[in-house]
């Protein structure tokens, strides 16, 4: 699945499992059944600055 699609799915159906802020950025980790997505937001404008996708161990 393309990264953009994984991001959209995480935002619409993912469960937030972790959230932290540092240096003007907010890091939010979303979990779905087969993968997790960390989205980095710029706090000042709440825009996405980056994202990382991780496959969950049980699904490889």
Quick: pLDDT tens for 7-35: 888 889 999 999 999 999 999 999 988 88
d(CA 60, CA 48): 28
Q: For the residues 38-42, what does the mean pLDDT come to?
A: 95
| Token reading at 5 | 């699609």
Chain mean pLDDT for the chain: 88
What the chain holds in terms of domains, given with CATH numbers, is 3-59 (3.30.67.30)
Q: Are 45 and 38 in contact (CB under 8 A)?
A: no
pLDDT band at 58 (very low <50, low <70, confident <90, very high): low
Say what the pLDDT of residue 55 is. 86
Residue 50 confidence (pLDDT) above 50: yes
Tell me the whole-structure pTM to 2 decimals: 0.81
């Amino acid at each position: 699945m393309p990264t953009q699609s994984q991001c959209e799915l995480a935002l619409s159906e993912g469960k937030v499992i972790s959230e932290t802020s540092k240096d003007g950025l907010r890091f939010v980790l979303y979990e779905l059944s087969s993968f997790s997505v960390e989205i980095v937001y710029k706090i000042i404008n709440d825009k996405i600055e980056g994202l990382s996708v991780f496959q969950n161990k049980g699904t490889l």
